[in-house]
Amino acid sequence: RGAELPAGAESLLPRLLLEHVREEIDVAGASHAGSVLADVEVHAGLDHKLPWAEFTSVLGRCGVGGEQLLDECKLAAHPDWSLSVGELRQLLCIDPKRSQAPPPPCAGLLRALARMRLAAAGHDPPLHALFLGLDAAGRGFLPRPDFLEALGRVRCALSAEERTQIASFFSPASDPRWVCYPLLLQSVVPLRGEAPAM
């Protein structure tokens, strides 16, 4: 094996990169900080530590930074290297007691899906046509920008934040650049003969 890293050096690079991540979270706003913290706490292990690979996935799901930042994160540490949730919170300067507790990451998701379900019954064109038209290969997955574009054409006034939450919810954790639209359709398109419930 090549030269071993000095003790503590392996943890230096990711900690330096976290400073850049913190700046990106500051730019994105307090709601992103709350989403990151909630996602981190959900995906932490029983030892209250989060593997670096999972932290990189959290950033992707929460929309913090761009592809370059995610690539830098992947290179900064071994995927199994981990940080405690408390240390991560401190390094990112996320205070869970700041003002009120952040809303859960899917706070508006259920309301948005309920509105889509109400709109789906009489939607013209039918909701499935909005998504199938963008999926020529019939794979059931759309690139995130295409999925967001299709959601923007649903006539139920979804906000940009709601569209982002829906895309994140129906994206595989392994690759948030893709969204599984059939799962969304199963959630919001009423079965034949079924009245949409309020």
The per-residue pLDDT for 10 is: 56
- Is 121 contained in some domain? yes
Do 83 and 118 lie in one domain? The reply is no
> Shortest CA distance to 152 belongs to which of 142, 37, 51?
142
Do 181 and 117 lie in one domain? The reply is yes
Do 32 and 64 form a contact (C-beta atoms < 8 A)?
A: yes
Q: The domain containing residue 150 runs over which residues?
A: 109-188
For residue 102, give Cα distances in angstroms to 67, 86, 163: 26, 17, 19
The per-residue pLDDT for 196 is: 45
123-176 pLDDT, tens digit per residue, is 888 888 889 889 888 889 999 999 999 999 898 888 888 888 899 888 888 888
What are the two backbone dihedrals, phi and then psi, of residue 84, each rounded to the nearest 5 degrees? -70, 150
Mean pLDDT by 10 residues, the chain (198 residues): 45 76 76 78 84 86 81 82 83 58 61 85 84 88 93 88 88 88 85 50
Residue 77 per-residue DSSP state: S
Predicted model pTM:
0.46
Q: Which two tokens stand for residue 184?
A: 């969304």
